[in-house]
Structure 1
C-alpha cells in the first residue's frame, strides 16, 4: 500500500491506496488559520503534526505501507531552531505583510535567476520580514522549511524538499533546478539553512524509529520528495505531459499547465515552476481568493456556502464583484488591492451577490488565462478540480469566461493526496505511467449564447480593477 499526505490550509488529508490505486481508506483532520493583523495569515506548525497524528490513527493499521508521499500548501515560511521545533507560527502563502520586502527583492536579477516575480506570498520576502522585525528569531533559525517538509522532519528526522515546492521560495534557480547561492545570500542565508532538494518522485528520507514508535508506519519506509500542492494535484490528475492542465476551484484559484521546457515570463505574473517529476516544468496563473470569496459572502449573509452557491446561470447582471480579498497575484501582482462589490441596488439580494461573486472568480480566471497564453505555453486540455468544481453552475461560468471546455473526473479525489500517493509509488520503483489521467464523467462546455455578455462583463471587471486599486 501507499500513503499520501496532503497538508492543506484548512485541513490535512491522508489517503491510503493499493498498488492498483484503488482506495483503502482516507481521513481528514481540520486546521485553522490565525489572522492577528490585516494581511497576516499564520498557522502553528505543531498543529500540522497533531493533525497528521489524528489522520494516521483514523486510517488504522499502516504496517503494509511501502512508501509515503507528501504534498502541501506552498510558500509557507517555517523557521526551525536547533531543537527541530518551529520558532514562531508559519507565515502562510496568503500572508501579504512582506509586500515591501518583496518589492525590494524583485529586480531583474531575481527574475532572471528564479524565472518569477518575487511575490509577497513567496518564502524569501517573508523571511526577510522576520529578519527586519524579529531579529532574535532570525538569528536562532537553523533551517527554513516549507510546510510539508516540516511534516517530513517529524516523519523522518531529515530535512529535504522537492523542486516544485522549492521553486516558490524565490531562492531556487528554477532552470537549473538547484538552490541559488546568490539569492540565498540576499536573505542572509546559505545552503546550510536549506533542506537538501531532489525530484518529487525520488526518495527524500525514510520513516524514523521515533515516528514508527508512535504510529503504525514501518521504520525505514521511503518518503518521496513529493510536491507543492498544485504540482502534486497535476500528478493526481495526470497533467504531466505538455499542454495538459487543470483549473482548481479551491481556497485559491489556479490555472495550471505542464510544459516540457523552462520558459519563464515573469512580466506576465504567471508562475514558472519545476514540476514534481524530472525534466518537466509548469506554469500557473494564481488568484488568491476563489472559494474563499464565496465563504466570505456566506459569512456576510449568514447563509451556508453550498446553499448560497446554488444559483442558476444567467447573463451577468448589474452586480459586479472583484475577488481581491487579500490582494492578487496573476496578472496584477498587487498585494494592496482589496475586493469590491459594485453595481449594487435595492433588488440585490443574497443570491444576486452569490452569482456576482462566482462570476467575479470566473473573470479572474479569464485574466489568468490571457496572461498564460501570452507566455506562448499551449493549453490543450483542462480538468476541473477542487471543492468549487462540485458546482455545475460555477463550472459553466468558468468554462464560458475561458471559452474552453472543462473535463470533470468521474470520481472525486484526483487531487494532491492522490498525487502524493503516485509520487510515493514512483519513489518505490514505478514509472510515471502511474500518473494516468482519470476517467471523465462529463465535459462542461461554454455557454455560447452568453459569450458576448461574458466578454463585455470581463472588460467591465478589468476597468473596475483600475478604479479600486487606487483605494
Structure 2
C-alpha cells in the first residue's frame, strides 16, 4: 500500500492506495487561514501537524503496517522559517499573501531573476517574503536557519530531513528552473545562502524514511520511504496523468489553475505564465494561475448566506453571459495581470439582476479568467489537445460547460473519485518505493465529457471581450 498526503490551504487530505492504484480509504482535516492585515494570509505550521496526526489516526484503522511509501503534495510558495533548533520562528506566510508586493517588484526589476527562474517574481513567491521579513522583522530574519515549503515541513516532521523537490522549489524565485538546482546568484541577491535551503530530490525519488517513533505510533512498518512528492498542481498532474505535451487539466480549487505538461523547458516570463519543473525527472510544465476560483464562489455564497451547491444546482442549462459581470480579483491576480493591488467587482448590475444572474456572473468571471490563462499559454506555443477538470468546482456541470464553451475545448471529468494532489502524491510514493516510473501515471477513467455549446460560442466570445474591458478598466483604477 501507499499513502498520499496533500496539504491544502483549507484542509489536509490523506488517501490510502493499494498496489493496483485503487483508493482504499481517505480522510481529511480542515485548516483555517489567519488574515491579520489586508493582503496578509498566514497559517500556523503546528496546525498542519495536528491535521496530519488526525488524518493518520483516521487512516490507521486500515492497517498501515503494509504501507511501503508515502508521497507528499501541498500548497506552494509558503515561507516556513526554522531556527537552528528546528523550531518554527513565525506563522507561515502563504501563497496568496501579497504583503511583499513592493519587494517582488524590486526583485523582478533585476533581470537575472526572470532569466534564471523563467518566471516573473510574484508577490506570493517565497523569495520576496524573505526580503520583507528582513526589512520588517529583522530579528526573525537573523535567526533563519532553514526555509521550508509547507509540505516539506511535514517531511521534516515525518523524517527529520530538510528536503525539497523540483516542482515546489521552482516557485520560490531562488531556483534555476532549466538546470533544476538552487541559484547561488539569486540567493545572494536576497541575502540568503545555499545552506539555508533544503536538499533537493526529484519528486519520484526517496527523500527519507519515516522516523521510528512515528512509525510505531501510527502502526507503520519499518523503513517506510517518503518520496520527494510535488507542489499541489504538479502532484495533481501526476494524479490525472498529465505528464506529456498536449495534456492539460483545469483545477477549480481555492485558486484556479490551467496546467499543461511540457516535454521541454520553454519559459516566457513576460506572459505571467508560470514555467516550473514537473514532479518527474526531465519534465516541465506551464500554468496560468488565478488566485480565486472556488474561493470567489464561496465568498459569494457567504454573502448570500446560501450553500454554493444550492446556488449552482439551481441554474439549469448553460445560458449566454448577461450584462452583469464579475471580476474575481478578491486578493489580486497573477496570470496575466500580475497585479497584487487589483480588486474584484460586480459590474453591470441592473434591476433585472437576480440571484441566478449574479451566480452565473461569478462562474463566468472565473471562467473568463481561465480563458485569459489559456490565451497566455497559447502565446508561448503551448498546445492543449486534451483537458481534464479536477477540484471541488468541477462538481458543477454548469461551470464545466461554461469553461468548455469559453475555451472551445471539451472538458473530461474523471470517474467518481479524487485524482488530485493526494492521489498524485500516493503515486509518487509508489514510484519512490518500487522504482516505477512515469508509466504508472496514467489518465483516469472518464465518467463524462462536457462538450462546448456551439450555439453559445459567439456569446461567450463577446462575454469574454466585455470581461477583458472591465478588467482593464478596474486595473486602471488601482
TM-score range for the pair, normalised by the shorter chain length: over 0.9
| Alignment match of 2:165 (pick from 158, 162, 166) | 162
Tell me if 1:445 matches 2:445.
no
Tell me if 1:320 matches 2:325.
yes
For the residue of structure 2 that corresponds to 1:316, the secondary structure is coil
Tell me if 1:417 matches 2:422.
yes
Tell me the distance in 1 between the aligned counterparts of 2:352 and 2:465. Answer: 24
| Alignment match of 1:466 (pick from 464, 472, 476) | 472
CA deviation string 1:401-436 (max 9, x = no partner) = 111111111122111111001001110122221111
CA deviation string 1:190-227 (max 9, x = no partner) = 11100001100000011012322432223421100000
**Mind listing any 5+ residue stretches in structure 1 that lack a counterpart?**
none
For the residue of structure 2 that corresponds to 1:205, the secondary structure is strand
Residue 25 of structure 1 deviates from its aligned partner by: 1.1
Tell me the distance in 1 between the aligned counterparts of 2:222 and 2:271. Answer: 46
Aligned to 1:12: 12
Residue 62 of structure 1 deviates from its aligned partner by: 1.2
Residue 12 of structure 1 deviates from its aligned partner by: 0.4
Tell me if 1:233 matches 2:236.
yes
Residue 23 of structure 1 deviates from its aligned partner by: 1.6
Residue 441 of structure 1 deviates from its aligned partner by: 1.1
Aligned to 1:300: 303
Aligned residues: 471
Tell me if 1:283 matches 2:286.
yes
CA deviation string 1:3-62 (max 9, x = no partner) = 000000000001111100112211001100001111000000010000000000001231
CA deviation string 1:270-301 (max 9, x = no partner) = 00000000000000000100011100101111
Residue 178 of structure 1 deviates from its aligned partner by: 0.3
For the residue of structure 2 that corresponds to 1:278, the secondary structure is coil
Tell me the distance in 1 between the aligned counterparts of 2:235 and 2:458. Answer: 36
Aligned to 1:51: 51
Contact 1:297–1:353 at 8 Å: present in 2 too? no
For the residue of structure 2 that corresponds to 1:341, the secondary structure is strand
Aligned to 2:392: 387
Aligned to 1:221: 224
Aligned to 1:104: 106
**Mind listing any 5+ residue stretches in structure 2 that lack a counterpart?**
none
Aligned to 1:207: 210
For the residue of structure 1 that corresponds to 2:171, the secondary structure is coil
Tell me the distance in 1 between the aligned counterparts of 2:228 and 2:462. Answer: 45
| Alignment match of 1:73 (pick from 72, 75, 78) | 75
CA deviation string 1:285-328 (max 9, x = no partner) = 00100011100101111111111222132111111000000100
Tell me if 1:355 matches 2:360.
yes
Tell me if 1:129 matches 2:132.
yes
Aligned to 1:92: 94
For the residue of structure 1 that corresponds to 2:191, the secondary structure is coil
Contact 1:294–1:309 at 8 Å: present in 2 too? no
Contact 1:207–1:218 at 8 Å: present in 2 too? no
CA RMSD after TM alignment: 0.9
Aligned to 2:33: 33
For the residue of structure 1 that corresponds to 2:52, the secondary structure is helix
Tell me the distance in 1 between the aligned counterparts of 2:8 and 2:393. Answer: 15
Tell me the distance in 2 between the aligned counterparts of 1:92 and 1:55. Answer: 22
Contact 1:396–1:444 at 8 Å: present in 2 too? yes
Aligned to 2:270: 267
CA deviation string 1:432-461 (max 9, x = no partner) = 211111111111111111111111111111
Tell me the distance in 1 between the aligned counterparts of 2:196 and 2:266. Answer: 29
Tell me the distance in 2 between the aligned counterparts of 1:18 and 1:215. Answer: 18
Aligned to 1:373: 378
CA deviation string 1:219-246 (max 9, x = no partner) = 4211000000000000000001111110
For the residue of structure 2 that corresponds to 1:329, the secondary structure is coil
For the residue of structure 2 that corresponds to 1:333, the secondary structure is coil
Q: TM-score, normalised by structure 1?
A: 0.99
For the residue of structure 2 that corresponds to 1:63, the secondary structure is helix
Tell me the distance in 2 between the aligned counterparts of 1:410 and 1:215. Answer: 31
For the residue of structure 2 that corresponds to 1:218, the secondary structure is coil
Residue 85 of structure 1 deviates from its aligned partner by: 2.0
